[in-house]
């Protein structure tokens, strides 16, 4: 899932977890299906009944590893605890042994010793590895990653991305990967959702969306992200203006006040064109194939 | 490869006779920080933030400094800007050694060199109107009646003149970065130093701000020193680059040259690790990124 800040990516993730702030009231439905085939209807289910789903069927990794870690608890014990809470291991001893095994799998050097460390004794990249171990410990059906590598150095990011993808593939789990970095999405995802102004404006296969975007915002975002492609004057392609705050979005097409292709039609909300929620776009004047400008376009 | 990757002035493109004096010349600059003592019986630990940095930045050059967090980029910038002093070594700006000058004799530096930071909100006083923020460097030079200059600067950075009477919080992140660029340009500096100026911005706004910097540097013939953790941004903006790790410059030279044929293992790892849209769409996965990064790190 891509989109600039404030487009609603994190709120979407939190609504899947049933973790929206009290002040926010969700409508619609979210169904989570666990590895065991059990369904949970997230919207409308009481907090206490969601606890079994969170941390087992769906787990989440955030940008800042310390949001998931307890600073006063050894990291091995924290990994063991998530398994004990959901009773995915028979006893204490097994949990501790399995925690060390998981820390080994996520590439912490000397995992038995690392298990005894407190979070502050680890580097940022190592802490995020511990969080990955915790998120994968109960073999979830879905792993949600909200900008998990944005705070990491680029060489550490490469290793942590690899770790996440390998962990997800080994478990046959699904992954929702949220980032503003298009190149990261293209490296780790098969499908992509483009969000803007609280709506999914385009969806589809990564290759398709990035090489032949249809929505005008998607096209603008790709153009502005691409530092290898410049206008004839050597400058970068841009989108005019900036993302409005949630209360200040225009009615109709939410991108209307920044779109150079906007017409009066755009004052009413564009229909979703496509085979279903998995593939389509909502734009009155989509990019035509012949002037499509995705990656490598001219 | 024939050009040796010496972290020295020798690797730099030669400058024209008219600008024989480099805008910035660093020689063997070190900076040690003393950490808090942890015990009464052991000496305070020393952090060696810079370990002998030598660099020449020619007049009119667009010079990038790239490296990961904690490598010493910001310490180096603070020293170049006269906001901090080196432990040893010399720092010349337009031929004048500033490394031992007392604060009161750095006035010339404030005219010649100005800074733009990553977080425009943190560097703009929330209680001041934009007109006063932009005029601040002029006021500290004793200049009065600065409004015409403020309006000229607002136009130069693409903001309406009404912006003058508003406060920083009334602007978006990108507009605030425009305000800090206007303030930096107020005293008509020759050197503009930018520390991660687009790292906190959304991509659509990043492109706007990079274009603005590009245009201003060209129009005003500025020397630009641009610090970033992102080599692809540096590649777009800068003609030369220094690669830093652990307080040292390990490689310096023409950006394109380094991008195509990096000499140092660390530079190669930086390039290998950065995901790129085109190569990712051509099939380069996270596993490839990781494997290439590790291979580059171990190469020599
Ligand atoms: N608890 C909240 N109450 C009201 N508005 C919120 C709350 N959380 C987020 N928002 C607003 O909802 C929009 C989407 O936010 P978010 O999902 O965090 O975006 P993203 O993750 O894409 O950056 C933003 O305009 C944000 O300011
Ligand atoms: S619907 Fe109209 S305003 Fe919205 S993106 Fe398409 S052309 Fe632009
Ligand atoms: Mg977010």
Confidence band, pLDDT 50/70/90 cuts, at residue B12:
very low
Residue B13 in contact with residue B58, Cβ under 8 Å? Answer: yes
The per-residue pLDDT for range A219-255, each reduced to its tens digit, is: 999 999 999 889 999 999 999 988 888 788 999 999 9
Q: Report whether residue A15 contacts ligand 1, using a CB cutoff of 6 Å.
A: no
- At residue A295, the pLDDT reads 65
- Nearest to B63, CA basis, from B264, B257, B227: B227
What the block records as the tokens of A15 is: 């609504």
For residue B145, the distance in angstroms to the closest alpha carbon of chain A comes to 31
Q: What contacts A287, CB < 8 A, 6 or more positions away? A: A212, A213, A214, A215, A216, A219, A293
Residue A293 has a pLDDT of: 58
What's the pLDDT at B38?
Answer: 65
Of all residues in chain B, the one with the smallest CA distance to A156 is B273
Residue-averaged pLDDT of chain A: 93
ipTM: 0.90
Write down the pLDDT at residue A73. Answer: 96
Per the prediction, chain B carries an average pLDDT of 89
Of B116, B118, B153, B121, the C-alpha closest to B134 is B153
Q: How far apart are CA A129 and CA A159, in angstroms?
A: 10
Q: CA A18, CA A40: separation in Å to the nearest integer?
A: 11
Do B204 and A157 lie within an 8 Å CB cutoff?
Answer: no
- Domain segments of chain A as ranges: 9-188, 191-293
CA distances, B134 to each of B103, B138, B174 (Å) = 22, 8, 16
Q: Which residues pair with B31 in a beta bridge?
A: B50
Interval A71-127: pLDDT, tens: 999 999 999 999 999 999 999 999 999 999 999 999 999 999 999 999 999 999 999
Query: Which two three-digit tokens encode residue B226?
Result: 């641009």
Q: Which residue is associated with the tokens 């024209």?
A: B16
Predicted pLDDT at A74: 97
Fold of A9-188: Rossmann fold (3.40.50)
Chain A interface, mutation test: which of B121, B204, B259, B270, most A Cβ atoms within 10 Å?
B204
SS (H, E, C) A97-152: HHHHHHHHHCCCCCHHHHCCCCHHHCCHHHHHHHHHHHHHCCCCCEEEEECCCCCC
pLDDT tens figures, A36-61: 999 999 999 988 889 889 999 999 99
Instruction: With a cut of 70, say whether residue A297 has pLDDT above it.
Output: no
**What are the phi and psi torsion angles at A293 (to 5°)?**
-130, 85
Give B290 to chain A, closest Cα distance, Å: 5
Residue A298: pLDDT band with limits 50, 70, 90: very low
* Ligand 1 contact via A24 beta carbon (within 6 Å): yes
| Residue A218: C-alpha distances to residues A228, A245, B70, B204, B207 (Å) | 17, 19, 35, 11, 15
Give per-residue burial for B73-100: e unless 16+ CB within 10 Å, then b.
bbbbbbbbbbeeebeebebbbbeeebbe
| The predicted structure's pLDDT at residue A118 | 96
Identity of the residue in A155, A166, A295 whose CB atom sits nearest the CB atom of B277: A295
pLDDT of residue A246: 78
How would you label B254-284 residue by residue, b for 16+ Cβ within 10 Å and e otherwise?
A: bbeebeeebbbbbbbbbbbbbbbbeebbeeb
The gap from C-alpha A279 to its chain's centroid, in whole angstroms, comes to 18
B218 contacts: CB under 8 Å, gap ≥ 6:
none
Beta carbons of B217 and B192 less than 8 angstroms apart: yes
Question: Percentage of chain A with pLDDT > 90?
Answer: 87
Contact A39, A32 (CB under 8 A): yes
What residues pair up with A281 in beta bridges, in sequence order? A202, A273
Model confidence band, residue B11 (pLDDT cutoffs 50, 70, 90): very low
At residue B215's C-alpha, the angle toward residues B209 and B221, to 5°, is 130
Say what the pLDDT of residue B167 is: 95
Answer yes or no: do B277 and A226 touch at CB < 8 A: yes
Which ligand gives the minimal distance to the CA of A5? 1
**Which DSSP letter does residue B204 get?**
H
Q: Which residues contact A232 (CB under 8 A, 6 or more apart)?
A: none
**Which of A166, A226, A236 lies closest to B211 in CB terms?**
A236
Q: What is the DSSP letter of B44?
A: P
Q: Kindly tell me if the per-residue pLDDT of B7 is higher than 80.
A: no
Q: According to the 3-state scheme, what is the secondary structure of chain A?
A: CECCCCCCHHHHHHHHHCCCCCCCCCCCCCEEECCCCCEEECCCCCHHHHCCCECCCEEEECCCHHHCCCCCCCHHHHHHHHHHHCCCCCCHHHHHHHHHHHHHHCCCCCHHHHCCCCHHHCCHHHHHHHHHHHHHCCCCCEEEEECCCCCCCHHHHHHHHHHHHHHHHHHCCEEEEECCCHHHHHHHCCEEEEEECCEEEEEEEHHHHHHCCCCHHHHHHHHHHCCCCCCCCCCCCCCCCCCCCHHHCCCCCCCHHHCCCCCHHHHCCCCCEEEECCEEECCCCCCCHHHCCCCCCC
- Domain B24-31+45-299, CATH class in plain words: alpha beta
Closest partner CB to A183 (pick from B233, B276, B287): B276
Which residue, by CA, sits nearest to atom 25 of ligand 1?
A: A246
For residues B166-177, average pLDDT: 91
Task: Kindly list the residues from chain B whose CB atom is less than 8 angstroms away from the CB atom of residue A184.
Answer: 275
Q: List CB contacts of A230: < 8 A, sequence separation 6 or more.
A: A236, A237, B236
Residue B221's nearest CA partner among B108, B23, B61, B96 is B61
Contacts of A153 in chain B (CB under 8 A): 68-69, 229
Could you report the per-residue pLDDT of B18-40, keeping only the tens digit for each? 558 999 999 999 999 987 766 67
């Amino acid at each position: 899932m891509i989109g600039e800040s404030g487009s609603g990516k994190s709120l979407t993730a939190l609504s899947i977890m049933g973790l929206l702030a009290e002040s926010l009231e969700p409508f619609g439905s979210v169904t989570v299906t666990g590895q065991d085939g059990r369904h949970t209807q997230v919207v409308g289910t009481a907090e206490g009944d969601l606890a079994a789903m969170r941390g087992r069927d769906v787990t989440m990794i955030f940008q800042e590893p310390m949001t998931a870690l307890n600073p006063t608890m050894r990291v091995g014990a924290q990994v063991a605890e998530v398994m004990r809470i959901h009773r995915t291991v028979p006893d204490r001893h097994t949990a501790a042994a399995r925690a060390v095994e998981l820390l080994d799998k996520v590439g912490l050097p000397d995992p038995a010793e690392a298990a005894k460390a407190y979070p502050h004794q680890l580097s940022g990249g190592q802490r995020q590895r511990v969080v990955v171990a915790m998120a994968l410990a109960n073999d979830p059906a879905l792993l949600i990653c909200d900008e998990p590598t944005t705070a990491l150095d680029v060489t550490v990011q490469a290793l942590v991305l690899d770790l996440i993808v390998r962990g997800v593939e080994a478990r046959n789990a699904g992954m929702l990967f949220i980032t503003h970095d298009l190149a990261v999405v293209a490296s780790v995802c098969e499908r992509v959702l483009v969000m803007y102004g609280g709506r999914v404006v385009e969806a589809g296969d990564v290759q398709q969306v990035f090489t032949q975007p249809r929505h005008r915002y998607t096209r603008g975002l790709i153009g502005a992200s691409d530092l290898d492609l410049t206008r004839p004057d050597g400058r970068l392609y841009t989108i005019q203006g900036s993302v409005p705050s949630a209360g200040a979005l225009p009615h109709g097409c939410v991108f209307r006040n920044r779109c150079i292709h906007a017409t009066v039609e755009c004052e009413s909300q564009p229909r979703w064109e496509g085979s279903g929620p998995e593939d389509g776009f909502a734009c009155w004047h989509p990019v035509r194939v012949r002037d499509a400008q995705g990656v490598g376009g001219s | 490869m024939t050009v040796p990757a010496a972290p020295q002035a020798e690797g730099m493109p030669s400058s024209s006779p008219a600008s024989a004096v480099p805008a910035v010349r660093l020689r063997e600059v070190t900076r040690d920080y003393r950490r808090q003592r942890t015990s009464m019986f052991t000496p305070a630990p020393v952090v060696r933030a810079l370990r002998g940095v030598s660099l020449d930045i020619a007049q009119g050059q667009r010079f990038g400094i790239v490296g990961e967090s904690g490598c010493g980029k910001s310490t180096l910038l603070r020293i170049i800007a006269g906001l901090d002093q080196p432990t040893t070594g010399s720092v010349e700006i337009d031929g004048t050694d500033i490394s031992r000058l007392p604060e009161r004799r750095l006035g010339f530096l404030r005219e010649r060199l100005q800074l733009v930071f990553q977080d425009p909100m943190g560097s703009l006083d929330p209680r001041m109107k934009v007109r006063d923020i932009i005029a601040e460097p002029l006021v500290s030079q004793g200049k009065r009646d600065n409004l015409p200059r403020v309006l000229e600067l607002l136009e130069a950075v693409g903001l309406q003149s009404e912006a003058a009477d508003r406060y920083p919080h009334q602007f978006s992140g990108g507009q605030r970065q425009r305000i800090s660029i206007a303030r930096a340009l107020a005293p008509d500096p020759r050197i503009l130093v930018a520390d991660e100026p687009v790292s906190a911005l959304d991509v659509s706004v990043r492109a706007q701000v990079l274009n603005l910097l590009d245009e201003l540097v060209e129009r005003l013939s500025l020397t630009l020193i641009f610090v970033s953790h992102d080599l692809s941004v540096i590649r777009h903006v800068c003609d030369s680059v220094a690669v830093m790790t652990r307080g040292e410059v390990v490689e310096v030279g023409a950006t394109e040259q380094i991008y195509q044929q990096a000499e140092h293992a660390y530079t190669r790892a930086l390039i290998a690790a950065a995901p790129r849209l085109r190569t990712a769409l051509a099939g380069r996965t996270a596993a490839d990124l990781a494997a290439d990064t590790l291979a580059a790190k171990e190469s020599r």
